Amino acid sequence: MENNETFDTHNRSAKQLAKYFKGIGPRIRHIEFALEQAGKNDGSASVLEIGCGDGRDAVEIIKRCRLYTGIDYSVGLIGLAKELLPAADFRVVDMQNFDYPYKTYDVVFAFASILHIDKASLRDLMNVVARSLKIGGIFYISTKQADRYKKEWKEDKHGHRLFYFYSPKLLARLAANNFEVASVELEVKNGKPWIEMALRRK
């Protein structure tokens, strides 16, 4: 699988990557926005985070919800997340193989994680995430943006990683069977365009 190298990098360089992610700071505004959109800013939400990494956003999500599960395929990053939040429910699992429970979550976050899967896989993921959300629940995606879908290998001090870039239009199309677009925001992070998209389960 061409993505094995990305997987290896997330394991081999877990500590350095976590240090880099931490430098970016937690996404408090986006977390609170998604909970509000789901009508669950009262602390009662059930939340799944896909690609939770070292748990830096989990710290903020857990303060604002009742039930939290974080999944990531990197043993190294989940190890760091467990050190940070020993009582939290973190699981080592590929987002494409997780056994998504039926109509369980109010919000599912995917912060900078679907950028590692291609569009056919993302279409499948949209379906399983939709199945696991309550009606009216929110799938919140933060991902790298381009005018057209493309893939790009990145090689830096952490290793090799493969990134997929999405346009807001393509994301909306892949989601259309199960979701309506609740909001789209285009942001520039480190000089690079990102999409912040909230999808509401129909």
Backbone angles phi, psi at 85, to 5 degrees: -135, 80
Least distance CB 12 / ligand SAM (angstroms): 11
Q: Which residues bind ligand SAM (CB under 6 A)?
A: 10, 21, 51-53, 56, 72-74, 77, 94-96, 111-113, 116-117
Judged by beta carbon, residue 180 or residue 187, the one nearer ligand SAM is: 187
Query: Which CB atom, from 38 or from 115, has the smaller least distance to ligand SAM?
Result: 115
| Residue among 63 and 202 whose Cβ is closer to ligand SAM | 63
d(CA 157, CA 42): 41
**Sign of the torsion angle spanned by Cα atoms 14, 18, 20, 24:** positive
Of 69 and 113, CB closest to ligand SAM: 113
Instruction: Check residue 110 and report its DSSP letter.
Output: E
Q: Smallest gap, in angstroms, from Cβ of residue 87 to ligand SAM? A: 20
Q: Is 147 strand, coil or helix?
A: coil
Q: How far is the CB of 202 from ligand SAM (least distance, A)?
A: 25
CA angle centred on 195, ends 115 and 138, rounded to 5°: 85
Question: CA of 103: how far to CAs of 50, 61, 139, in Å?
Answer: 16, 20, 13
In the complex, least distance from residue 56 CB atom to ligand SAM, rounded to whole angstroms: 5
Burial of 17 (0-12, 13-18, 19+ CB in 10 A): buried
Compute the least distance from the CB of residue 135 to ligand SAM, in Å. Answer: 26
Give the residue with the Cβ less far from ligand SAM, 19 or 169. 19
